[in-house]
Amino acid sequence: MDLKNKKWTTDAFNTTQKEVLNQWPTGAEVDFEEAVKYHKQIPASKQFAKKMVQAKKDGVTLAQPRAGVALIHEHIELLNFLVKEGGADLLPTTIDSYTRQNRYKECQVGIDESLAAGRSLLNGFPAVNHGVKGVRQVVEQVNGPVQARHGTPDARLLAEIMLAGGFTSYEGGGISYNIPYAKDVSLERSIYDWQYVDRLVGIYAEHGVEINREPFGPLTGTLVPPSVSHAVGIIEGILAAEQGVKNITLGYGQCGNLVQDIAAIKSLEVLAEEYLEKCGYKDCVLTTVFHQWMGGFPQDEAQAFGVISWGAAAAALSGATKVIVKTPHEALGIPTKEANAAGIRATKQVLNMLCDQKYAMNKELEDEIAIIKAETRCILDKVFELGHGDYAVGAVRAFEAGVIDVPFAPSKYALNKMLPARDNNGAVRLFAIGNLPFSQDIIDFHKDKIEERARVEGRQASFQMVIDDIYAISKGRMVGRPK
């Protein structure tokens, strides 16, 4: 494995493909030529990329839930329910956690026990076990474009099967599906494996099949500063584009402060275009996704609706192309289909009420955009430097050095020296900068912001403040003030 941000050769790809398709019996079902034909008969209304581009053109925000259960028919029923009773514009297929760890044997236990118990004992849809044929049942019997959503460091076989199965969008990336989801998968490994996925999507593109790709924006979902997730998303965008991906959706997980959230979405697209352009990828179409608050939720459903609706409002006002929707069951367990649909309905009510409103530019928003851009540039330019011009190599070294650092990440490949906390207005800032390569004025900016809050609260900034912020939204607030 010699990691470089360089389009894989046909040979390298083909050799790896043989191994990949051998990882589980259903791999044998994949027939690329036939899959291309299959894709070509999928109607435009079920094509993810087309729907995203149209929404961007129309300036509307689409709503997409998360959802996945163990068995095929239940999964189909679930998705159709979310369209019919929820009004979902885009559909997901959330993959279960065993599949994400490539533990297909345990999936089989889960499937069998789910059959026996009459309820899903898996937390998602085990697509590899169901194989191409199973996946196609979903694509065919579901009324809308479907995307695979998972969290899989090695998602090669899953990609082969789901794309051959007719899925038109695939979430993830070598960083964003490793650092928050794994403990000891090296970044070198996961980036390399995700190049394979991107190359596969690239090959589909070269055969006229447009697949939407979406790096996972929110990372650990818990107080991740925008510049960190932007840097990761843009790097993954660059890596994907190099492998021939043409339709990319970049993501961001709501922090909660409206100005910061709008600034994040506004800066994300501009920065990504700038960097892709600079790297020479000129024909990628970019769209954005806003995730409703991804951290701990309140257990009470009414309060959860408040969080969901506020997320919908921020998504609409930010102008994101789509919003990923939470449910009133979030704090407790995988939602029933009814709870899931309810989350979508609350979201769509707000999206529709706000679809004709813009958030006008003002000084505060300008400043916030400027700071996010400056921070992201600091990170990306250092990554470029560390990689001697190669973003793949640079990313690996950047994580080693803590130049990119994801708070609360389970992976030992994240340095975990940076710590976020909210400022006095609820924006996510840095309490500990760690090794983030920020310029002195940015470092001072964060220090001032955190100190301002500490002063108001009459306490020193400390890890307790970070903990208070982690619990805050689930306890009905945003800034974790002392009692």
Partner 1 sequence: MENSKTKIVLGVIGADCHAVGNKILNYAFTAAGCEVINLGVLVSQEEFVNAAIETNAKAILVASLYGHGEIDCRGLRDRCQEAGLGDILLYLGGNLVVGKADFTLVKKKFMDMGYDKVYAPGTLPDEVIDDLKNDLSKRGILM
For residues 38 and 170, which CB has a smaller minimum distance to ligand B12 in the complex? Answer: 170
Query: What does 439 interact with, of its own copies, partner 1, ligand B12, none (CB < 5 to 8 A by kind)?
Result: none
Q: Does 289 bind ligand B12 (CB under 6 A)?
A: no
Nearest to 481 by CA among 462, 460, 465, 461: 465
Please identify which residue in 158, 409, 415, 430 interacts with partner 1, judged by CB under 8 A: 409
Smallest separation, CB 342 to partner 1 (Å): 12
Q: Does 408 bind ligand B12 (CB under 6 A)?
A: yes
Please identify which residue in 101, 143, 309, 336 interacts with its own copies, judged by CB under 8 A: 309
Q: Does 244 bind its own copies (CB under 8 A)?
A: no
Smallest separation, CB 411 to partner 1 (Å): 9
Q: Does 303 bind partner 1 (CB under 8 A)?
A: no
Query: What does 183 interact with, of partner 1, its own copies, ligand B12, none (CB < 5 to 8 A by kind)?
Result: partner 1
Annotated catalytic residue within 160, 171, 188, 330: 171
Asked about 29 being catalytic, the answer comes back as no
Please identify which residue in 6, 278, 358, 417 interacts with its own copies, judged by CB under 8 A: 358
Binding residues for ligand B12 restricted to 42-81, rule: CB under 6 A: 66
Smallest separation, CB 329 to ligand B12 (Å): 5
Q: Does 441 bind its own copies (CB under 8 A)?
A: no
Binding residues for partner 1 restricted to 110-169, rule: CB under 8 A: 110, 113, 119-123, 151
Q: Does 106 bind partner 1 (CB under 8 A)?
A: yes
# residues near partner 1 by CB under 8 A: 41
- Residues assigned a catalytic role: 100, 171
- Contact residues for its own copies, defined by CB under 8 A: 256-259, 298, 300-303, 305-310, 312-313, 317, 328, 341-343, 345-350, 352-358, 360-365, 424-426, 473, 476-479
